[in-house]
Amino acid sequence: MSGMQIGPYQEFAKEKLGFEFKTIDYLVTALTHRSYVNEHKKSVSEHNERLEFLGDAVLELSVTDYLYRNHSEPEGILTSWRSSLVRTESIGEAGGLLGYEPLLRMSRGEKNGSDRARQQILANAFEALIGAIYLERGYDDADKFITKHITSKLESILESGSWRDPKSHLQEVSQRIDGHTPVYKVLGEEGPDHDKVFMLGVYVGDKLMGKGSGSSKQNAQQEAAKAALTAYEKRGK
């Protein structure tokens, strides 16, 4: 990587990953967003999407292997657990905790983007980082990294019940407690068409039990269902 300081990248690798990269290009590329390449075409030619593609496959195999070997639940439940572990929010949070955001190379516009866009970039970089570790150190080290930062969250996910589909769970709870099926209604929209945010409310009977927002009506419904489930939990205490 000519023309750039690799020291901070090796320091990150040594402190957070426990080793230094022999091929530092893997790490730097993993933390390079497509938008940065677009702004520096003369000096930078590769972004992290190919490494993300590789890392996504390694992540899914690692989590699937762990669940298969350690739990005897049916395929449908294991699939739900895996989805909860590898969703954007989970791996984006893991990326934030690792602290590589200051090393991310992206355009000025992306740096000033929405929180949702930032979380997606962090998540994509996390998968690319897995790909970089896999190429540099092999599957076993990539698997250890995933176990430490992702699979270790399984216990808390099971305790909280967050692996369950919130809408299905809410329907069970509302019918059991109140005898009503939840109804979702759009409360508002904001933002341009390419970055729209929907606000929805979920009603049980005539009562508004929760609100949620998201980049799609489906995502907003899920968030509203989570809020309603929290309301039911508080009611039961």
pLDDT digits (tens, 9 = 90+) for 14-66: 999 999 999 999 999 999 999 999 889 888 889 999 999 999 999 999 999 99
| Residue 145 domain-assigned (yes or no) | yes
Annotation says 11 is catalytic: no
Are residues 52 and 124 both part of a single domain?
yes
- What are the residues facing 186 on neighbouring strands? 200
User: Who has greater pLDDT, 116 or 70?
Assistant: 70
Q: Are 134 and 58 in contact (CB under 8 A)?
A: yes
Q: Kindly report the pTM of this predicted structure.
A: 0.76
Percent of the chain with pLDDT over 70: 97
pLDDT at residue 9, rounded to an integer: 96
Are residues 130 and 228 both part of a single domain?
no
pLDDT bracket for residue 108 (50, 70, 90) = confident
- The number of C-alpha atoms within 13 Å of 88 and in the hemisphere containing its C-beta is 10
Cα 126 to Cα 187: distance, rounded to the nearest angstrom: 34
Are residues 176 and 89 both part of a single domain?
no
Find the CATH number of the domain harbouring 35: 1.10.1520.10
**Catalytic pick among 15, 25, 46, 56:** 56
pLDDT at residue 3, rounded to an integer: 45
Edge-to-edge strands, sheet with 197-204: 183-190, 197-204, 207-214
Residue 154 has pLDDT above 60, yes or no: yes
Are residues 201 and 103 both part of a single domain?
no
Cα 224 to Cα 214: distance, rounded to the nearest angstrom: 10
Cα 148 to Cα 94: distance, rounded to the nearest angstrom: 10
Crossing angle, helix 217-236 and helix 166-177, to 10 degrees? 40
Are residues 196 and 154 both part of a single domain?
no
210 — phi, psi (to 5°)? -170, 155
Are residues 22 and 134 both part of a single domain?
yes
User: Who has greater pLDDT, 189 or 5?
Assistant: 189
pLDDT one-digit tens code per residue, 168-213 = 889 988 999 999 999 999 999 998 887 789 999 999 999 999 999 9
Compute CA 185 distance to the chain's CA centroid, rounded to the nearest angstrom.
Answer: 26
| Residue 116 domain-assigned (yes or no) | yes
pLDDT at residue 4, rounded to an integer: 63
Are residues 205 and 147 both part of a single domain?
no
**Catalytic pick among 11, 20, 46, 127:** 127
Residue 75 has pLDDT above 50, yes or no: yes
Are residues 145 and 175 both part of a single domain?
no
| Residue 2 domain-assigned (yes or no) | no
Full residue range of the structural domain in which residue 46 is found: 7-160
Give the number of other Cβ atoms within 10 Å of residue 215's Cβ: 16
Annotation says 75 is catalytic: no
Cα 214 to Cα 220: distance, rounded to the nearest angstrom: 4
